[in-house]
Copies of this chain bind each other. A is one copy, B any other.
Amino acid sequence: MRILVSNCNTTEAMTAAICEQAAAAARPGTQIVPLTPSWGPESCESWYDSFLSAAAVLESVRAVAEPFDALVMAGFGEHGRQGARELLDVPVVDITEAAAHLACLLGDRYAVVTSLARTAPIIEESLRATGTWERCGGVYATGIPVLGLEDDVSETSAQFAVQARRAVAGGADVVVLGCAGLSGLHRELVATLDVPVVDGVAAAVGLAETLHGLGLSTSKVAGYAAPPAKRRVVPGGPPSSGGVA
């Protein structure tokens, strides 16, 4: 099967790193198709970034010409997944929800460790929408900006471990990595911590493969039916006057 994996920001290096993670998690025979949005922020660290990213990713997904069997949306805590569910007939799995759902199978309460504290309310809203917020023991922030997470992976890992231990002391028994494309960090944390560490990209790939394998996709009888045909002026292109599906 072919899984389209969309980065939430315009940084190509992050798309590459995310798709490397995705490929490492995928089964033999699964092909990972990378997608970097053609506009939007270089990283998502605010509500403004997240809304900009949602529109840019949705437009970029619409513009993909080649067929694919599932979409994995790789922006931790970012907006947009419900829109993709409307636009597509294939399964859509966001890494935030993927990580949360798998984490619920591994322990009693999961915690998220992420970059900047200001993104915690955005992540919380995304987790609330999954329905698993009551299983969440909190969102912990290291204070490291997204684009600085790979500057010194050892230092980043040390800071993530500090927050993960705070979370465990506070009652969590599973840690979710609150960012994407950081397989080095994930490896170091797995080696450091004695609790399961869930990477959303790998989780989403596994869930997309499972849904595809079971022939399951988004329900189209209610809120996720294709959007009504209408005139939409979309950035960087002529107005679309037809339907969108």
Contacts and interface: CB of A to CB of B under 8 A. Distances in A.
A34 interface: no
A91 interface: yes
A214 interface: yes
A46 to B, nearest CB: 4
A42 to B, nearest CB: 5
For chain A, what secondary structure do more than half of its interface residues adopt (helix, strand, loop), or is it mixed? Answer: mixed
Interface residues of A, number: 98
Copies of this chain, whole number: 6
A174 interface: yes
Query: Which of the listed residues A43, A79, A116, A122 has the most CB atoms from chain B within 10 Å of its own CB?
Result: A79
Interface in A107-121: 107-108, 116-118, 120-121
Interface stretch (A12-20, A154-162, A216-224): A216-224
A51 interface: yes
A207 interface: yes
Contacts of A10: 231, 233
Given A51-B54, A102-B207, A108-B219, 14 more contacts: A47-B83, A48-B83, A48-B227, A48-B244, A55-B55, A79-B79, A93-B105, A97-B104, A106-B211, A118-B223, A131-B134, A131-B135, A168-B222, A196-B216
